[in-house]
Structure 1
């Protein structure tokens, strides 16, 4: 459908695309990933025609309708929200105006004009075929899914913030029904509810999609293939982020090994030359080795994988009760409560996700905890020795403009962590002399990364993080997750990065109906519980929380998640030794099931990676003219093998999905042990 033929494009002498040949097949869903500044947005703008290749050509069918969602919308037509979305179908809007005018013309005529009536019939039939009678309902469906309320539809678009304008633009693109949808960080401006709606819609979208995103959860769900843009070229990976990460790390390790082997060989040659340079008997051997050294094609050192090699050590832990709220009420305006009757305790060591739709009060709750806001009624108390590290977008204003990045971090870093400053800054993409740049010349995203690094290195024992992954690339997110997993303090995080939440948190607090509703698990667990609530409010009722139940004598051979995790019947708090023993056995059985599933998934991922590599090798052979010179039998054999590999891959991916669903179901029903 879209074909890149030896396309090159550079900015300020830096090649972003170098003789790139690539294609986007019809109906294919592709994730495009790469480091910040690698050229992903440039590639999308080349497809839309906003940029022109400096070399090569891009072939796009004339009748292909392309929808492009940029990261920021500079110019937009000011009208009502609904009007702006409907104007995305100018063919329907203009035809509707023609039909209305023709109706007026016919109404003003004394005698019927058969030619005008025939024209009206043609236009109305065309309007129906274009979907004109359904277009407004479709537009409202898209707007509702993306978070707009019914009163919002008639409000002027310029009354909304930039994030909401981007949502309206996304609805406009979806209404256009493009054959190719280009999405550049579409989740940046969406809350979790809107994000989940968009994900479901895109899964059934019939056209091709090129998705640029740091949302690994969305990539896992949506992408059929992952392409990584690096040093001007694209590398293809299977469409599962975990498999991509595994293959990427393997590739880097292979490159490191080759680099180290070459460096060792160079050192051996140099030592030999230096030792025998003056020896006339070995002159020929010396010259031979020097020529070999000259002809040696240099292997570049592999890029460093961002990671934290130190653990966060809390020198002064807080007391057990980090935050205590009692009968807390809060309202910005009288009688319009944002929170009512909140009784909640945050316990030392918990890692909690705070979720809820936009406007539900997530940021307000964090400001109540930090003391920026005071409760309207009730009390909120921080535990003794609690030291907060608060990361939020408006915190960027407290950075000192004249300080260098290094000095800004140093100013709040405990002495024992000073040796790690460069390492942490490297993870957040500040390397070499970059760390001596002044704060005042940094972009908003760079300042955000400095603020996050500063908080992570601070002596805080309670981290409050508001969208910490927004300005991080994929590898930096992985490193942050690793660091927070090892963090011994308490974490309260607001994020729409579902992959991040799944890896970090052990509890979800949902803001619902002005209350805080706890879910004792990660984000996937929360989704599973929300899909089948155990109490009218959707919260986990303590007495109905799934417990491990001893198996009855008639089911010894059916060790399934369902049989092991039936809700227990209400009983007294005290348990007999026999009950505890049986529960421990059930717990052990489920742990064994989990480990078995994880091993099977890992083995299957390796098999998929091997099949993809072989498939890629055959694709390269079939694209080589020499293959066709060898004659028909070889081509036929390759085509048969390719078809067989495709079938095996489809079966393997189906099996992978099934195993992951079994694992998710198991984990969704698995209660976490309460911390003592």
Structure 2
């Protein structure tokens, strides 16, 4: 029995565990927010809603499609029943007083009484509304990075890293060198200075940053509404609460202190901040770590349709595969691999990448 065992685990460790569980010959019960993991490992899915469990034969995608299809079929069946009800009611209304049609009218009344509409109860699951709308369209010159190097505590974290971003790039930083990704993001956001090299943002760009560690952001006594108002270009409470409402913070939640929020609530606050700032470049460092399945799906969909540039790191395989069109991997020595491809294609075409993933997973397992 595993409960959210892969949360905050590296993609390498997750890949190793996937293969282990697939080959495990006995029963496994797992709770996870990683859709790719569930699709690859699970043969059955238990849907828990309103305190009731319904078992589906199939993986996560099969459950999702089946449950959506079931609701669709019930709605279509109800529509046909409503049309039949209307037809019977019209006949009864028209001919109930007609002696020659009275038997037919009575028969239709009985038929009408037998028709029952299916009760379609909305799911208790709630999806936030994630929609990043840039205030300004991004130009052709986005970001140029030239020979950036950084050494921390004697270790070479970044070694002469260079790349140029285009206006349609959605870049996923993958691999086991997670510290290097965070350092690079901090340098690009001006929170850390490189030892060597330079970077230049295009004049049309505006950036919003989702840090891996947001402790400082919430180390204050502000309410959620006051906190977000501080970042809003429109200092209107109703305007700000609209963004909070989209992220599942109803009116009464606006008076909560940000200091006491859960990990998932803090993530949703940070996403609200990024939306209200309306940037055309998003930098996200492990944004899915504290989110539930619904929020991950909403963020995933929001990034897919985002019309700007994205640089991000995530352990969620499906999140990376469906969002990124360019893959970068910072190697243990700080050098960079840069390929314009999807994540699955990157792993499939690069034998060494797959070997690195397996090696890192085994190394982590030995250390633990």
Q: Give the TM-score taking structure 2 as reference length.
A: 0.76
Decide which of 121, 124, 127 is 1:306's aligned counterpart. Answer: 127
Contact 1:191–1:358 (8 Å) recurs in 2: no
Matched, 1:457 2:287: no
Alpha-carbon separation, structure 2, partners of 1:451 and 1:200: 34
Matching residue of 1:505: 324
Indicate the structure (1 or 2) with the bigger Cα radius of gyration.
1
Alpha-carbon separation, structure 1, partners of 2:120 and 2:150: 61
Alpha-carbon separation, structure 2, partners of 1:498 and 1:416: 38
Cα deviation, residue 519, structure 1: 2.0
Counterpart secondary structure, 1:361: helix
Alpha-carbon separation, structure 2, partners of 1:470 and 1:259: 40
Cα deviation, residue 495, structure 1: 0.2
Matching residue of 1:5: none
Deviations 1:435-473 (A, max 9, x none): 443323322332222112221332222111111122222
Decide which of 186, 209, 217 is 1:390's aligned counterpart. Answer: 209
Q: 1:262 to 1:416 in 2, by over 3 A?
A: farther
Q: How does 1:93-242 map to 2 (within 5 A)?
A: 182-242=1-61
Cα deviation, residue 311, structure 1: 5.3
Matching residue of 2:336: 516
Matched, 1:488 2:307: yes
Deviations 1:473-508 (A, max 9, x none): 222222212211111111011100001111111011
Cα deviation, residue 255, structure 1: 6.3
Higher relative contact order (CA 8 A, sep 6+): 2
Alpha-carbon separation, structure 1, partners of 2:178 and 2:168: 28
Q: 1:189 to 1:395 in 2, by over 3 A?
A: closer
Deviations 1:638-659 (A, max 9, x none): xxxxxxxxxxxxxxxxxxxxxx
Matching residue of 1:317: 137
Matching residue of 2:363: none
Cα deviation, residue 256, structure 1: 6.4
Deviations 1:29-59 (A, max 9, x none): xxxxxxxxxxxxxxxxxxxxxxxxxxxxxxx
Deviations 1:516-549 (A, max 9, x none): 111222211111122378xxx9xxxxxxxxxxxx
Deviations 1:48-93 (A, max 9, x none): xxxxxxxxxxxxxxxxxxxxxxxxxxxxxxxxxxxxxxxxxxxxxx
**Please, which moves more after superposition, 339-348 or 488-497?**
339-348
Q: 1:449 to 1:240 in 2, by over 3 A?
A: same
Matching residue of 1:612: none
Cα deviation, residue 232, structure 1: 1.3
Alpha-carbon separation, structure 1, partners of 2:53 and 2:153: 53
Matching residue of 1:525: 345
Alpha-carbon separation, structure 2, partners of 1:323 and 1:393: 21
Counterpart secondary structure, 2:142: strand
Gaps of 5+ in 2: 84-108, 357-368
Q: Give the TM-score taking structure 1 as reference length.
A: 0.43
Alpha-carbon separation, structure 1, partners of 2:124 and 2:233: 29
Counterpart secondary structure, 1:203: helix
**Please, which moves more after superposition, 182-191 or 320-329?**
320-329
The count of aligned residue pairs is 326
Alpha-carbon separation, structure 2, partners of 1:520 and 1:392: 25
Cα deviation, residue 226, structure 1: 0.7
Alpha-carbon separation, structure 1, partners of 2:74 and 2:231: 38
Deviations 1:152-188 (A, max 9, x none): xxxxxxxxxxxxxxxxxxxxxxxxxxxxxx1111111
Decide which of 158, 161, 186 is 1:342's aligned counterpart. Answer: 161
Cα deviation, residue 196, structure 1: 1.0
Alpha-carbon separation, structure 2, partners of 1:311 and 1:233: 32
Decide which of 241, 245, 252 is 1:433's aligned counterpart. Answer: 252
Cα deviation, residue 401, structure 1: 4.1
Cα deviation, residue 219, structure 1: 0.5
Alpha-carbon separation, structure 2, partners of 1:235 and 1:243: 13
Q: 1:223 to 1:301 in 2, by over 3 A?
A: closer
Q: 1:298 to 1:318 in 2, by over 3 A?
A: closer
**Please, which moves more after superposition, 197-206 or 393-402?**
393-402
Alpha-carbon separation, structure 1, partners of 2:323 and 2:49: 28
Gaps of 5+ in 1: 1-181, 265-287, 538-676
Cα deviation, residue 204, structure 1: 1.1
Q: 1:190 to 1:301 in 2, by over 3 A?
A: closer
Contact 1:262–1:299 (8 Å) recurs in 2: no
The Cα RMSD (Å) is: 3.6
Q: How does 1:371-390 map to 2 (within 5 A)?
A: 371-390=190-209
Cα deviation, residue 363, structure 1: 0.6
Decide which of 234, 250, 262 is 2:69's aligned counterpart. Answer: 250
Matching residue of 1:470: 289
**Please, which moves more after superposition, 474-483 or 524-533?**
524-533
Deviations 1:237-257 (A, max 9, x none): 232322222123234445667
Contact 1:321–1:383 (8 Å) recurs in 2: yes
Contact 1:388–1:461 (8 Å) recurs in 2: yes
Alpha-carbon separation, structure 2, partners of 1:263 and 1:411: 51
